[in-house]
Every structure is written in structure tokens, then in C-alpha cells.
Amino acid sequence: MHADLSRSVEDYLKAIYHLTERGEAASTNSIAEQLGIAAPSVSGMIKRLAEQGLLEHERYKGVSLTAQGRREALRMLRRHRLIEAYLVERLGYTWDTVHDEAERLEHAVSDDLVDRLAAALGHPDFDPHGDPIPSADGVMTEQLTRALAEVPTGETVTIVRVDTDEGEQLRWFADNGLVPGAVVSVVEHQPFSGPVIIKRGRNRQVVGREIAGHLLCVSGAQE
């Protein structure tokens, strides 16, 4: 049985999970930026969550989730990503419009409804953006990926995950065929942090280095 948590607590746990998943320090400032709130407010909440056994806070090193905090964060990720998948697959939403809708719904639905959504979709492992969906018991498929910006020249990779919820960026990726399952070859890295030149099929494309950092890939042409 999960704890009866407020919406704000759930948002904090999910934000901290995202930060630490990317290898970033979950500092007060980074959490504040992720949630779009003032840093002093974050400091007070961190103390409360640590007292509840959801976080561990080490001075000057940021915070990390306890085992209980991680379970709650994964429960929210499961809700969010299954809702996104259902909205796209069954209700005709596009992948650039589902994030905000899922943010609202994830706090309102019951665990039973979430399990029914999973069953209706055939228990998918990934959401429309390629993000892994945790199982009901908190197990999540892990993939060893690299950002497209880090792939060496001459290598062919498959995009498996698009790590952004910005609608404008997602529309650009979709318009240019840079979606999960797309196979691309890196032709050139422009110097001085310049763009990445890739080839998809017969088409060459120029992808800015920063935005290429959102495209997570695995080696080779995957089926």
C-alpha cells in the first residue's frame, strides 16, 4: 500500500527522480528550476520529505530518494506514461500535446484505473516518447543509451527515446522523422560545438548539438 501523498509531494518525488536519473545532482536550485518554483520553498519541502522518510539530504551534495521515495516516484511515472500512451493510441492525441494532460490526470486516477489502462494497451514497456513504463511492482526496463550528440562520426544508431516534453521540440522531431525507431547515421560533427550532420535513409539533416542531446540512441539498426 502506497502512502497518501499530496500532489505537491508527488511532483517533488518525480522531479528528483528525473534529475538523478540523468546523473544530475538534485540540488535545491535544480529542483526549483525543474518545478518552476522559488528555491526557499524547496528547502522547506526537502526537510519535510526527509522527515517522512522519502528523501535523504546530505549537506552540499543534494538529495536522493530513499527506497520508499523511489517506489512512490515510479508509481507516478507509471501513471503519467500510461496515460500518455492511452491518449495517443486510443484518443488520437499527438505526442507533443499529451504531457500537460497527463500531468493533470496522473494525480486524479486510481491505481485500479491505471492497471486497466495498462491491460487495455497490452502492458506496454514504453510510452510514445520511448520513456520506459514501470510495471505495477516498480520494475522498469533499462536501456543503455547515448545521446545523438555523443555518437561518433560513421556510426549508425537507432533512436529509442526522445527526452523532452517541450511541445515545439517534439513537433520539430516528428516533422523531421526523428522519432523512436528511426535509424540514423552520423556523417559529421561540426567543430566548436557545432551541429551534428546525420543521414536518415537518403536524406541528410542538420541537427543542433543541444537538441541532439535529447535524442537517446542505441547502437545499430534495431527492429
Examine residue 212 and state whether it is found in any structural domain, yes or no.
yes
Those residues whose C-beta lies under 8 Å from the C-beta of residue 75, and which sit 6 or more positions away, are 2, 111, 134, 138
Sign of CA dihedral 35, 216, 100, 64: negative
Residue 62: beta bridge partners?
58
- Final residue of a structural domain among 94, 111, 140: 140
Per-residue pLDDT, 150? 96
Per-residue pLDDT, 1? 41
pLDDT digit string, tens, across residues 78-90: 999 999 999 999 9
Same domain, 150 and 215: yes
Examine residue 37 and state whether it is found in any structural domain, yes or no.
yes
* C-alpha span between 116 and 113 (Å, rounded): 5
Helix axes 67-91, 98-105, angle to 10 degrees: 130
- Final residue of a structural domain among 15, 41, 65: 65
Same domain, 213 and 154: yes
* C-alpha span between 20 and 135 (Å, rounded): 20
* Residue pair 203/175 in contact by the 8 Å Cβ criterion: no
pLDDT, block means (10 residues), the chain with 223 residues = 75 93 82 91 92 87 91 96 98 96 94 96 96 93 91 97 95 97 96 95 94 95 73
Residues of the domain holding 107: 77-140
Other CB atoms within 10 Å distance of the CB of residue 101: 14
Model's pTM, two decimal places? Answer: 0.90
Per-residue pLDDT, 223? 61
Examine residue 71 and state whether it is found in any structural domain, yes or no.
no
Per-residue pLDDT, 5? 80
Q: Give the chain's domain count.
A: 3
* Residue pair 65/16 in contact by the 8 Å Cβ criterion: yes
pLDDT digit string, tens, across residues 176-211: 999 999 999 999 999 999 999 999 999 999 999 999
Examine residue 200 and state whether it is found in any structural domain, yes or no.
yes
* Residue pair 147/207 in contact by the 8 Å Cβ criterion: no
Same domain, 199 and 170: yes
Same domain, 117 and 90: yes
Same domain, 131 and 179: no
- Final residue of a structural domain among 16, 42, 65: 65
3-state secondary structure of 108: coil
* Residue pair 7/107 in contact by the 8 Å Cβ criterion: yes
Q: Is 163 exposed, middle or buried (0-12, 13-18, 19+ CB in 10 A)?
A: middle
* C-alpha span between 160 and 16 (Å, rounded): 23
Same domain, 91 and 47: no
Examine residue 2 and state whether it is found in any structural domain, yes or no.
no
| CATH value at residue 158 | 2.30.30.90
Same domain, 156 and 213: yes
Same domain, 151 and 211: yes
